[in-house]
Amino acid sequence: MENFEFYTPTRVLFGKGQEEKVGKLIREFGGTKVLLHYGGQSAKKSGLLDRVKSCLEAEGLKYVELGGVRANPELALVKEGVALARKEKVDFVLAVGGGSVIDSSKAIANGAANPEVEDVWDFSMKKAAPVRTLPKGVILTLAAAGSEMSESCVITNPEVNLKRGYNSRLNRVQFAIENPELTYSVPPYQTACGAVDIAMHTMERYFSPGEDTDLTDALAEAVMRTIIKAGKEAYFDPENYAARGNMMWASSLAHNDLTGNGRKCFLPVHQMEHELSGLHTEITHGAGLAALWCSWARYVYTYSLSRFVRFAVNVWGVQEDFEHPEKTALEGIRRQEEYYKELSMPTSIREFGIKEEELETLAEMCCYRHTRTLPGYKVLDYDDILKIYRMSWELGA
Amino acid sequence: MENFEFYTPTRVLFGKGQEEKVGKLIREFGGTKVLLHYGGQSAKKSGLLDRVKSCLEAEGLKYVELGGVRANPELALVKEGVALARKEKVDFVLAVGGGSVIDSSKAIANGAANPEVEDVWDFSMKKAAPVRTLPKGVILTLAAAGSEMSESCVITNPEVNLKRGYNSRLNRVQFAIENPELTYSVPPYQTACGAVDIAMHTMERYFSPGEDTDLTDALAEAVMRTIIKAGKEAYFDPENYAARGNMMWASSLAHNDLTGNGRKCFLPVHQMEHELSGLHTEITHGAGLAALWCSWARYVYTYSLSRFVRFAVNVWGVQEDFEHPEKTALEGIRRQEEYYKELSMPTSIREFGIKEEELETLAEMCCYRHTRTLPGYKVLDYDDILKIYRMSWELGA
């Protein structure tokens, strides 16, 4: 059991109608002028954005708008947001959307509050760390990234084909409004991607090295079992409140550190996926994760066999074969793979149209041109990473 | 799934040696003059208190001391603390101890920061609510009450034989230092009482009315299974770091609301126990809970049979009897009872020397002389409450 720090100061308001409280909440956290940050058309079309504006106006809050955040949020828009926030002297950033909008908001808040750092990309490249930030709030419309409670912020810079994340205590948002009804309109494909992403935040922690973390492991299994069920229900029955609700709450808990406390957490599949969707920004993060996980798992499972057996038994309810633990472990991986297929998720990166000649590029980018390895029960170097990309690619033959 | 608010801003520093950071943490939260609040001799004898003082001095922090907190912390000492805090103009309260010291610290912080409320007991009687408080920190030396992450504060007023709790967002402490080694010296009886108390915070939420709370229920079961195992291990093997660690972390999560989100949470067994240890302050809260729970469960289980079946199967691993669910439910209760006996916990209130003629007094106090009932799947009125006290009492024949 490793020492850990757990800090989740985000106030979550969960349930129907909670978004009506947004103006009061911003006031409570000292906001007077808000940068209202969002994505494309859906928040406009649904009328949510208008309702939010009415709430802000009812509290006498001023605001400026910046829409247009795309999946894999891009540096250019972040820079535009930073400039706007400084020019307009906003003192609060409100994200209306999912993980991309939230991460873009975090980056803007950090950029605006640390003017001595000229290039906000320096935070992503870990050349600088924010020492202050603007207070932030979220109205969540997509259950997936868990950014609403995490300390993570992932931005893509298409000029250099890089997608990079950084962690900071300052990246925790002040409040998150989570109304499951606001996710009813999320299409099945995006719902499935969200279910993959949510589960993966916990799966990666669960398969990280550690020992004696009984409570953390049991909590992780609880989150994984729940998202498997809720994700599937929401995929086939989009207006199922219970399914959307359990999925939304799982998204927050899967990535707020609760499911990794006391373990040495690394996220190798995330790192490998970042190269995929960094290079091909049209790839949805969750789909990329699904396409990689089973190959990663089959490559490494012998290095932590008992964990993979435990996963099979406790998460998938596999009948344990005590004489042949590797069979039990592989059956757990197979069940996970079947689940992805049931939700029309890819299980090979070739499904994205990746060419064989791109595999080496991906592996090189992932190990920062041979300057890093990916830690875990099995430390992955360039050759390992290339093999895993190839395993996934060949599955699509 | 009910709407809920979840807010756990406490920064937890968990693991070996974390108490060395206490001075820096207090500085970080703006403290300059500290009220150092603790219990009896154990923190002195172990040398912990001296080490804490050195840490404060190393940071140039001033402090005044107030020791002497007892189990079921009393109003008189709280009042002394409030007077001291005001006189000495302290701006931070540091609790070194378990739930009693923490609750006493919360009450002092509220009393000191709200001078317009003349009698701090008014908070407990809900005649007034604190509108501000002093920042607080905890060095935890007993895994039990969960007060280190909860919004609860329970104080006893022996003049009127009342033990009363009140909740407030202001009751969340700023930081909690949780080093499992600091609980090695907790004697077996107190360890068992702690295990009962921890589990009960989650059991009471689990048996509260609600539906579709898949994630919350799975998390609750994770906490219950963990504390059953860790509590027993720590009872028989006091210096088992993993057991003490899992138990300590469970104490925080069992009562920080995580295991009740989305359910209508009531704590009827807690209410009934408060009368016991309010009337007989020598009774340890956890022991009182153990003595009451099985009788409460057998009295109410038919009103939420499927929950009790689920508890038996998912927490105790009982083989389900699908034809006779009540048998499965009762087997779960029996296993819980056996567990209490294994840890030498009482299962009858007669074991505390309660006299038969006191049963009516307890019931009357618990329903505030017929002015309240205890909500739940089965709403308990005076007659129900008296019957449960009597069931428990008669078990000791």
Mean pLDDT of successive 10-residue stretches along chain A, which has 397 residues? 97 98 97 96 88 97 97 95 98 97 98 96 96 98 96 93 91 98 97 98 97 98 98 98 98 97 95 91 93 98 98 98 98 98 97 96 90 94 97 94
Question: Quick one: B128 and B230 in the same domain?
Answer: no
Q: How many CB pairs under 8 A join A and B?
A: 125
Of B159, B182, B205, which closes a domain? B182
CB contact under 8 A, B249 and A261: yes
Q: If you measure CA to CA, which chain B residue comes closest to A243?
A: B212
End-to-end distance of chain A based on CA atoms, in angstroms?
A: 43
The rounded distance, in Å, linking the Cα atoms of B55 and A177 is: 40
Of A182, A217, A251, which closes a domain? A182
CB contact under 8 A, A214 and B246: yes
Question: Quick one: A264 and A153 in the same domain?
Answer: no
Question: Quick one: B240 and B364 in the same domain?
Answer: yes
Percentage of chain B with pLDDT > 90?
93
Cα dihedral B286/B288/B291/B294 (nearest 10): -70
**Cβ atoms of A101 and A140 closer than 8 Å:** no
Residue A351: inside a domain: yes
Give strand pairing partners of B95.
Answer: B37, B138
Please tell me the distance in Å from B356's CA to the nearest CA on chain A.
Answer: 41
**Amino acid letter at B113?**
A
Question: Quick one: B86 and B220 in the same domain?
Answer: no
Structural domain that includes position B310: 189-394
CATH number of the structural domain spanning residue B62: 3.40.50.1970
Which of A342, A340, A235 is CA-nearest to residue A295? A340
Chain-centre distance of CA B125, in angstroms? 19
Ramachandran quadrant class, A262 (left: phi over 0; alpha: psi -120 to 50; beta: rest): left
Question: Quick one: B110 and B246 in the same domain?
Answer: no
Question: pLDDT tens for residues B286-300?
Answer: 999 999 999 999 999
The rounded distance, in Å, linking the Cα atoms of B365 and B163 is: 10
Question: Quick one: B256 and B152 in the same domain?
Answer: no
Of A126, A159, A182, which closes a domain? A182
CB contact under 8 A, B246 and A212: yes
List residues of chain A with CB under 8 Å from any CB of chain B.
1-9, 11-18, 211-216, 218-219, 221-223, 225-226, 229-230, 241-242, 245-246, 249-250, 253, 258, 261-262
Q: Domain tally for chain B?
A: 2
Please tell me the distance in Å from A345's CA to the nearest CA on chain B.
Answer: 23
Residue A134: inside a domain: yes
**Cβ atoms of A30 and A93 closer than 8 Å:** no
**Amino acid letter at A310?**
R
Question: Quick one: A91 and A198 in the same domain?
Answer: no
CA A63, A65, A69, A74 torsion: positive or negative? Answer: negative
Residues of A in Cβ contact (< 8 Å) with B223? 215, 218-219
CB contact under 8 A, B222 and A226: no
CB contact under 8 A, B246 and A3: no
Question: Quick one: B334 and B245 in the same domain?
Answer: yes
pLDDT reported for residue B198: 98
Residue A75: inside a domain: yes
Task: Say which range, A31-35, B40-44, B251-255, has the weakest mean pLDDT.
Answer: B40-44
Question: What value does the mean pLDDT take over residues B176-198?
Answer: 97
Q: Which two tokens stand for residue A294?
A: 């089973």
pLDDT reported for residue B80: 98
List residues of chain B with CB under 8 Å from any CB of chain A.
1-9, 11-18, 211-216, 218-219, 221-223, 225-226, 229-230, 241-242, 245-246, 249-250, 253, 258, 261-262
Question: Quick one: A141 and A22 in the same domain?
Answer: yes
CB contact under 8 A, B1 and A223: no
The rounded distance, in Å, linking the Cα atoms of A283 and A276 is: 7
Question: Quick one: A65 and A178 in the same domain?
Answer: yes
Classify residue B41 by its DSSP letter. Answer: S
Within 10 angstroms of residue B48's Cβ, the number of other Cβ atoms is: 20
Within 10 angstroms of residue B89's Cβ, the number of other Cβ atoms is: 11
The rounded distance, in Å, linking the Cα atoms of A228 and A243 is: 10
pLDDT reported for residue B301: 98
The rounded distance, in Å, linking the Cα atoms of A263 and B249 is: 14
Question: Quick one: B151 and B233 in the same domain?
Answer: no
pLDDT reported for residue A16: 98
- For an interface test with A, the pick among B7, B151, B215, B247 (most A C-beta atoms closer than 10 Å) comes out as B215
Nearest to A14 among B6, B14, B241 (CB): B6
Q: Which two tokens stand for residue B55?
A: 């840490």
Please tell me the distance in Å from B136's CA to the nearest CA on chain A.
Answer: 15
**Amino acid letter at A253?**
L
Q: Residue A326: phi, psi to the nearest 5?
A: -65, -30
Question: What value does the mean pLDDT take over residues B253-262?
Answer: 97
pLDDT reported for residue B72: 87
Q: If you measure CA to CA, which chain B residue comes closest to A212?
A: B242
The rounded distance, in Å, linking the Cα atoms of B147 and B69 is: 15
Question: Quick one: A271 and A362 in the same domain?
Answer: yes
CATH number of the structural domain spanning residue A338: 1.20.1090.10
Nearest to A250 among B2, B212, B215 (CB): B215
The rounded distance, in Å, linking the Cα atoms of B73 and B77 is: 8
pLDDT reported for residue A281: 84
